[in-house]
A and B are shown apart, each in its own frame.
Chain A
């Protein structure tokens, strides 16, 4: 396994500790960091399947909603505590994703995006229209807090960011593993990957289901952190925003979605004018970033470091060159 696997997770651990220290004086930072963490937790798996596997999914928020609703409905109808609903919240969206993945994941990139977008909207319609079961447009309220951490913001922050760190570590470890390389091969040439014995459909379906399961976990966290879930909470606009986060941050980097999530949340907080008008500035900002840095903001950092490394490398003297290099 590459030595660099734990480096990104280490960077995030330092960031988390920094937030914990700085947040002592600015308590609103905790709430912002929790939001960033939840988005990052949805964005990192999306970054993996899109950046490495070319699976462009716009249904991540829908899977999170399925997880959140699974937990909320088990609580409201059967009075199960959050500890007992955690597993169903992960398994139900994962199974759902596995079942629907076969006909969807054979499609080319843009068709896949459209199909997952349509799937996300259908899930939203089902939740908002099944009034008796799901609470309709009003959703489900009065959900109990997350077990152990309860309503403590520091506790929730630690839980969410620990999950992000584990996710980023797994992302890096997976990418450098044989299965990760198989996923990249599938992205580069699906037919060639099949010809060398990679079970393309199974690999993609499995990964799609795992990312849906992680989304379901985020849905569970979201529902019990806020004590509420409704059809508008984790909607298709969030799915689109997640894709923005991944692309703006850098879809080829494990930290890209985290940076993208931070960019989104902080830009929303710092933009001038009313909240209604934010979309205008925000949209323009996204177009500019996509236009100027199509590989994502993190590519700027990487290219700068690469430039520094090249600049600091000593120029070899002609006497030090091998005969081949001299020629």
Chain B
């Protein structure tokens, strides 16, 4: 029983990373209709920067790196918009995939094939006999705090209301005077902040390498899809569950099979969901 509690704690910590990436994907997609495949790469870049900077400034440097990559993707998005190339979503989505390849290659060139890790807090706490890493608690706390901030931002601030209006109808938002392009740019930057935090947490908890981006993106997408990717809260919950399922899979499935958890979730949700017909179709929440 204690072992299950420990696995669950590790799973929730891993889920915290995925939840942050899922929230970033959801916020960007809802506001701009772009499925950002590079989210995992941005998180990895942020984590690598954080690990290179070390403590005490590593986490700050990581989040700044996340913001910069988010702003870069926003720049690419705006260029596509200027050229009127957003009617077909595939080229812009493939561009985010190309950014993922660029970041993977940059990390492999600069850091090498070995992974990096950031030591923020060490030690363990004992809860009812179960031993839990303090870094796991920090990870869950970071993800939860991020969720609360994003939810409050969307609910109570003018930019949050603009984002929600743009998400419901871009045309109507523009008609009532909302600067939709700036709002979408802000969504990319907000996504950058979230993946920046995800990267710092991942560097602290599991370590990151050049091969991390794709698996992070996939887990993030799985989390964003699981409960319908309508709100950051749903994305948070989805990410947490993917992390939990993956950790329990690592513990109880034969070696290697847990790597398919995110894929299995995505496939099952899309193939069986009643709402599959509107999934990623351009129908915004």
The chain A residues found within 8 Å of chain B, CB to CB, are: 56, 103-104, 106-111, 114-115, 117-119, 121-122, 125-126, 128-129, 236-237, 240, 243-244, 247, 274, 276-280, 282-284, 286-287, 290-292, 294
Asked if A290 contacts B102 (CB within 8 A), the reply is no
Task: Assess whether A128 is in contact with B276, with CB atoms less than 8 Å apart.
Answer: no
Chain B residues at the A interface, C-beta cutoff of 8 Å: 35, 76, 79-80, 83, 85, 88-95, 97-102, 104-106, 108-109, 214, 218, 221, 225, 254-257, 259-260, 262-264, 266-267, 270-272, 276-282
- Contact between chains at B280 and A290 (CB < 8 Å): no
- B79 and A291 within 8 A (CB): yes
**Given contact pairs A107-B279, A114-B280, A290 touches B91 in the complex (Cβ within 8 A):** yes
| Alpha-carbon separation in the docked complex, A277 to B109 (Å) | 6
Listed A/B pairs (5) with beta-carbon separation below 8 Å: A108-B281, A118-B270, A243-B94, A287-B98, A294-B83
**From residue A167, how far is it (CB to closest CB) to chain B in Å?**
22
CB-based nearest A residue for B35? A110
Q: Which residues of A contact B108 (CB under 8 A)?
A: 276, 279
For A240, the closest partner residue in chain B by CB is: B97
Q: Chain B contact residues: over half helix, strand or loop, or mixed?
A: helix
Once the chains bind, are A283 and B280 in contact (CB under 8 Å)?
no
Task: Determine how close the nearest CB of chain B comes to the CB of A124; give it in whole angstroms.
Answer: 8
Closest to A285 in B: B98
Contact residue among B85, B92, B101, B267 (Cβ-Cβ distance under 8 Å from A118): B267
Q: Are B270 and A111 in contact (CB under 8 A)?
A: yes
Note all chain A residues with C-beta closer than 8 A to B89.
109-110
B276:A114 contact, CB within 8 angstroms: no
A247 touches B91 (CB 8 A): yes
What A residues does B255 contact at CB under 8 A?
A: 129
Partner of A290, one of B95, B106, B259, B260: B95
A121-B218, A121-B260, A125-B260 known; A294+B98 contact, CB < 8 A: no
A119 in contact with B109 (CB, 8 Å): no
Flag if B94 contacts A276 (CB, 8 Å): no
Q: Which of B90, B105, B256, B257 contacts A279 (CB 8 A)?
A: B105
Partner of B105 from A109, A240, A277, A286 at Cβ < 8 Å: A277
Q: Which of B76, B88, B101 has the most CB of A within 10 A?
A: B101
User: Chain B residues with Cβ under 8 A from A107's Cβ?
Assistant: 270, 276-277, 279
Cβ–Cβ < 8 Å partners of A287 in chain B:
76, 95, 98-99
Residues of A near B92 (CB, < 8 A) are 290
Residues of B within 8 A of A237 (CB): 214
Contacts of A290 in B (CB 8 A): 85, 91-92, 94-95, 98
Query: What chain A residues lie within 8 Å of B276 (beta carbons)?
Result: 106-107, 111
Q: Which residues of A contact B277 (CB under 8 A)?
A: 106-108
Residues of B within 8 A of A128 (CB): 256
How far does the Cβ of B82 sit from chain A's closest Cβ, in whole Å?
9
User: Would you call B254 and A129 a contact (CB within 8 A)?
Assistant: yes
What is the minimal beta-carbon distance from A317 to any residue of chain B, in angstroms?
A: 38
Contact (Cβ within 8 A) A283 B99: yes
> Provided the pairs A108-B281, A115-B266, A283-B98 are in contact, do residues A291 and B225 lie with their beta carbons within 8 angstroms?
no
A114 to B264, CA, bound (A): 11
Q: With A108-B280, A110-B280 known to touch, is A280 a contact of B106 (CB < 8 Å)?
A: yes
Task: State whether B105 touches A118 (Cβ < 8 A).
Answer: no
- Would you give the shortest CB distance from B284 to chain A, in whole angstroms? 13
B99 touches A129 (CB 8 A): no
Give bound CA distance, A306 to B214, whole Å: 41
CA distance A106 to B272 in the complex (A): 11
Residues in B with CB closer than 8 Å to A129 are 254-257, 259
Among A117, A244, A274, A279, chain B packs the most CB atoms within 10 A around the CB of: A279
Cβ-defined contact, B272 with A103, below 8 A: yes
- Determine how close the nearest CB of chain B comes to the CB of A282; give it in whole angstroms: 7
Residues of A within 8 A of B254 (CB): 129
- Closest 9 pairs between A and B when the two form their complex, measured CB to CB: A279-B105, A283-B102, A129-B256, A108-B281, A110-B280, A125-B260, A103-B271, A118-B263, A118-B266
Given contacts A125-B260, A282-B101, contact A115 B106 (CB under 8 A): no
Q: Smallest distance from the beta carbon of A232 to chain B beta carbons, Å?
A: 11
Instruction: Assess the A122–B91 pair: CB atoms within 8 A.
Output: no
Among candidates A122, A280, A284, residue contacting B263 with C-beta atoms closer than 8 Å: A122
- Least Cβ–Cβ distance between B4 and chain A, in angstroms: 24
Pairwise interchain contact B106-A125, C-beta atoms closer than 8 A: no
CB distance from B103 to the nearest CB of A (A): 8
Most chain A CB within 10 A, of B91, B93, B225, is at: B91
Q: Which residues of A contact B105 (CB under 8 A)?
A: 276-280, 282-283
Contacts of A279 in B (CB 8 A): 101-102, 104-106, 108
Q: A114-B225, A279-B105 are in contact. Are A291 and B260 (CB under 8 A)?
A: no
Establish whether residues B263 and A283, one from each chain, have CB atoms under 8 Å apart when the complex forms. no
**Contacts A114-B280, A121-B263, A283-B105: A56 and B90 contacting too (C-beta < 8 A)?**
yes
In angstroms, Cα B273 to Cα A103, docked, is: 10
Give the Cβ gap from B67 to chain A, nearest Cβ, in Å.
Answer: 20
